[in-house]
């Protein structure tokens, strides 16, 4: 039987062909896949930024907040690690005393008229810093430093210039303070009135059961920066803040600088004596002929060494002792237990060879010449602006201890000499030269003042 032929019904007006429908379906699927791909990429980027990227992830921000709370224990450091110390705001002509600790305070007294630009250049400021400072100082100095005028430069624990005092005339000065807005740096200016007077006072105290050296200084009626100054005097032999124990005693002969009748800041510690679990430590400040002032023992022995005793600028007493870490009977380094946020400083002057890792496992390697290198690991954050090739000073803060794991935070310090790892706790650090007998007389005079026989003012 013959198959009936298909009748032609004419064109199907307004209806797509099977092929056209298939093409449209493919286009719709392609568009959906592209949207899905874009959404996946955006989701991936957000996940990376929020959970994995160093510095912006939620865990990193939480760690930074934790470290910031710990770092707020440092006088003048009230932000996340790397935030430069903020200076107290005061009304013009009123001084309540500077409450910040500084790595360096450099005084420059002019013996004759010289361009202000040359003075700033000698301080090692960057071109941008020098330009911004010069613009403010030139308005009140005329662009020159005249005989008798004085500049005082204040560098924070990260060796960043934070403030400048300019003594223009007798009883009249100005203070410049760094303020940062985004990527720009500004210098605010404040008028200071009253003659500058330096008084030498004797201060004594006993370490309490809690709080350590900083608390003892406050209980003695002094400011916290004095504790930092005292700790730095003996920094080549011991970490006074970490190793101090209850009932330890200290006696200090220190310069206190007043503007008018108001205390302004501390000057230099002239003599110090510390007694307690560490034994008896004595230091006297003396300037040998042709040399900058340094600290010596009562016997005239230079207290400076080629290395600091500890890489930490401790905030309070630490009960745990440093632990030597070994791997296959070889030295890896020393673990220094410390609360999160504790400032980590360079053991000696050197150059930043490398910085690596991600928080909370950042690391910095310093090269000190003669084949010596130091490595600082387990950092939660680096000092602001720390770059490879940068020169750092002994004692300069280069980073901050991270939050650690399982409630235990520590710094891992490794030292290599000639490519070979050595035990940092047994690192030989020779002292400077001993004073000759004729120069030791001055040491005895200051020690006599420390014992209360004579306290001077000038």
Question: What does the DSSP assignment read for 179-243?
Answer: EEETTEEEEEEEEEES-EEEEEEEEEEE--SSSHHHHHHHHTT--THHHHHHHHHTTTT--HHHH
Whether 405 has a pLDDT exceeding 90, the answer reads no
159 vs 17, more confident: 159
> Same domain for 329 and 398?
yes
Whether 242 has a pLDDT exceeding 50, the answer reads yes
Evaluated on CA atoms 426, 71, 88, 179, the torsion sign reads positive
What pLDDT is attached to residue 278? 87
CATH no. for residue 221?
A: 3.10.450.350
Closest CA to 358 of 24, 63, 30: 63
- Helix count and strand count (H, E) for the chain: 8, 22
Gap between the Cα atoms of 112 and 95, Å rounded:
29
**Domain for residue 41, yes or no?**
no
> Same domain for 392 and 299?
no
What pLDDT is attached to residue 68? 47
Gap between the Cα atoms of 32 and 40, Å rounded:
12
Gap between the Cα atoms of 133 and 67, Å rounded:
32
**Domain for residue 330, yes or no?**
yes
> Same domain for 174 and 204?
no
Cα→Cα distances 152→27, 89, 130, 173, 393, Å = 73, 18, 15, 11, 19
> Same domain for 298 and 239?
yes
User: 241 and 231 in contact (C-beta within 8 Å)?
Assistant: yes
Tokens at residue 302, please?
């230079």
Tokens at residue 148, please?
């008798």
Q: How confident is the model at residue 401 (pLDDT cuts 50, 70, 90)?
A: very high
53 vs 237, more confident: 237
Closest CA to 378 of 402, 405, 407, 347: 402
Cα→Cα distances 155→22, 41, 108, 288, Å = 74, 46, 14, 25
Cα→Cα distances 28→24, 205, 206, 316, 337, Å = 6, 81, 81, 66, 61
Whether 249 has a pLDDT exceeding 60, the answer reads yes
**Domain for residue 203, yes or no?**
yes
Whether 107 has a pLDDT exceeding 80, the answer reads yes
Give the tens place of pLDDT for each residue, 161-215.
899 999 988 888 999 998 877 667 789 899 999 999 999 999 999 999 988 999 9
Give the tens place of pLDDT for each residue, 425-445.
887 777 888 899 888 888 888
Among 46-55, 96-105, 120-129, 240-249, name the most confident range: 240-249
> Same domain for 438 and 398?
no
DSSP string, 358-400: -TTSEEEEEE-STTEEEEEEEEEEEPTT--TT-EE-TT-EEEE
> Same domain for 400 and 367?
yes
Average confidence (pLDDT) over 331-360: 90
Q: How confident is the model at residue 247 (pLDDT cuts 50, 70, 90)?
A: very high
**Domain for residue 238, yes or no?**
yes
Tokens at residue 378, please?
């387990």
Gap between the Cα atoms of 284 and 300, Å rounded:
9
**Domain for residue 171, yes or no?**
yes
Query: Is omega for the bond preceding 429 within 30 degrees of 0, making it cis?
Result: no
User: 378 and 63 in contact (C-beta within 8 Å)?
Assistant: no
What pLDDT is attached to residue 453? 44
CATH no. for residue 415?
A: 2.70.70.10
What pLDDT is attached to residue 291? 87
Q: How confident is the model at residue 454 (pLDDT cuts 50, 70, 90)?
A: very low
What pLDDT is attached to residue 325? 82
> Same domain for 251 and 201?
yes
**Which domain range does residue 165 map to?**
104-194
What pLDDT is attached to residue 449? 84
**Domain for residue 79, yes or no?**
no
DSSP string, 107-153: EEE-SS-EEHHHHHHHTT--HHHHHHHHHHHHHHHTTEEPTT-EEEE
What pLDDT is attached to residue 97? 60
Task: Indicate left, alpha or beta for 371 from its phi (over 0: left) and psi (-120 to 50: alpha).
Answer: left
> Same domain for 400 and 411?
yes
**Domain for residue 48, yes or no?**
no
Tokens at residue 163, please?
């403030």
What pLDDT is attached to residue 88? 38
Average confidence (pLDDT) over 360-365: 90
167: which strand partners? 150, 173
Length of the chain equals: 458
Whether 10 has a pLDDT exceeding 80, the answer reads no
Q: How confident is the model at residue 267 (pLDDT cuts 50, 70, 90)?
A: very high
277, 279, 285, 289: CA torsion to nearest 10: -150
Average confidence (pLDDT) over 13-38: 73
Average confidence (pLDDT) over 252-261: 92
Give the tens place of pLDDT for each residue, 381-395.
999 889 999 999 999
Burial class of residue 251 (count of CB atoms within 10 Å of its CB; 0-12, 13-18, 19+): middle
> Same domain for 216 and 297?
yes
If one counts the domains in the chain, the total is: 3
Average confidence (pLDDT) over 351-359: 90
Tokens at residue 216, please?
């003892």
What's the chain's average pLDDT? 82
Q: Domain boundary at 147, 167, 194, which?
A: 194
**pTM > 0.85:** no
What pLDDT is attached to residue 458? 40
Q: How confident is the model at residue 159 (pLDDT cuts 50, 70, 90)?
A: confident
What pLDDT is attached to residue 58? 61
Gap between the Cα atoms of 56 and 49, Å rounded:
6
Among 125-129, 141-145, 232-236, 442-446, name the most confident range: 232-236
Gap between the Cα atoms of 127 and 142, Å rounded:
20
What pLDDT is attached to residue 411? 93
Gap between the Cα atoms of 102 and 268, Å rounded:
12
> Same domain for 201 and 298?
yes
* Percent of the chain clearing pLDDT 70 (strictly above): 82
Gap between the Cα atoms of 135 and 184, Å rounded:
15
Average confidence (pLDDT) over 12-39: 72
Gap between the Cα atoms of 118 and 264, Å rounded:
28
What pLDDT is attached to residue 415? 93
Closest CA to 52 of 356, 359, 341, 355: 359
> Same domain for 248 and 202?
yes
Tokens at residue 90, please?
């005061």
> Same domain for 111 and 183?
yes
């Amino acid at each position: 039987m013959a198959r009936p032929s298909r009748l032609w019904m004419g064109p199907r007006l307004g209806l797509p062909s099977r092929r056209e429908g298939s093409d449209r379906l493919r286009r719709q699927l392609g568009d959906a896949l592209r949207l899905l791909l874009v959404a996946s990429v955006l989701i991936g980027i957000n996940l990376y930024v929020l959970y994995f990227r160093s510095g912006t992830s939620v865990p990193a921000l939480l760690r930074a907040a934790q470290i910031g709370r710990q770092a707020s224990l440092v006088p003048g450091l009230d932000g996340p690690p790397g935030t430069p110390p903020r200076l107290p705001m005061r009304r013009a002509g009123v001084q309540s005393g500077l409450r910040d600790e500084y790595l360096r305070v450099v005084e420059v007294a002019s013996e004759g008229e010289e361009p202000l630009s040359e003075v700033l250049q000698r301080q090692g400021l960057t071109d941008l810093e020098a330009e911004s400072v010069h613009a403010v100082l030139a308005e009140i100095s005329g662009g020159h430093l005249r005989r008798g005028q004085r500049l005082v430069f204040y560098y924070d624990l990260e060796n960043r210039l934070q403030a400048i005092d300019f003594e223009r005339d007798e009883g009249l000065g100005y203070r410049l303070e760094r303020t940062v807005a985004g990527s720009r740096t500004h210098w605010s200016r404040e008028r200071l009135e009253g003659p500058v007077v330096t008084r030498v006072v004797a201060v004594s105290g006993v370490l309490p059961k809690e709080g350590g050296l900083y608390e003892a200084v406050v209980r003695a009626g002094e400011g916290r920066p004095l504790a930092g100054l005292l700790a730095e005097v003996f920094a080549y032999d011991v970490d006074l803040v970490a190793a101090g124990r209850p009932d330890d005693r200290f006696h200090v002969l220190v310069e206190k600088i007043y503007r008018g009748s108001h205390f302004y800041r501390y000057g230099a510690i002239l003599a110090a004596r510390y007694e307690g679990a560490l034994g008896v430590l004595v230091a006297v400040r003396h300037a040998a002929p042709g040399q900058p002032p340094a600290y010596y023992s009562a016997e005239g022995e230079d207290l400076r060494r080629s290395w600091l005793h500890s890489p930490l600028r401790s905030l309070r007493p630490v009960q745990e002792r440093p632990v030597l870490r070994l791997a296959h009977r070889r030295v890896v380094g020393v673990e220094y237990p410390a609360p999160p946020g504790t400032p980590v400083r360079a053991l000696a002057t050197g150059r930043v060879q490398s910085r690596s890792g991600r928080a909370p496992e950042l690391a910095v390697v310093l090269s000190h010449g003669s084949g010596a290198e130091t490595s600082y690991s387990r950092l939660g954050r680096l000092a602001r602006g720390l770059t490879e090739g940068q020169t750092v000073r002994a004692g300069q803060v280069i980073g901050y201890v991270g939050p650690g794991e399982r409630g235990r935070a520590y710094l891992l310090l490794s030292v290599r000499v000639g490519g070979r790892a050595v035990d940092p706790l047994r690192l030989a650090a020779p002292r400077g030269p001993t004073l000759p007998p004729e120069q030791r007389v001055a040491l005895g005079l200051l020690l006599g003042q420390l014992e209360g026989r004579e306290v001077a003012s000038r």
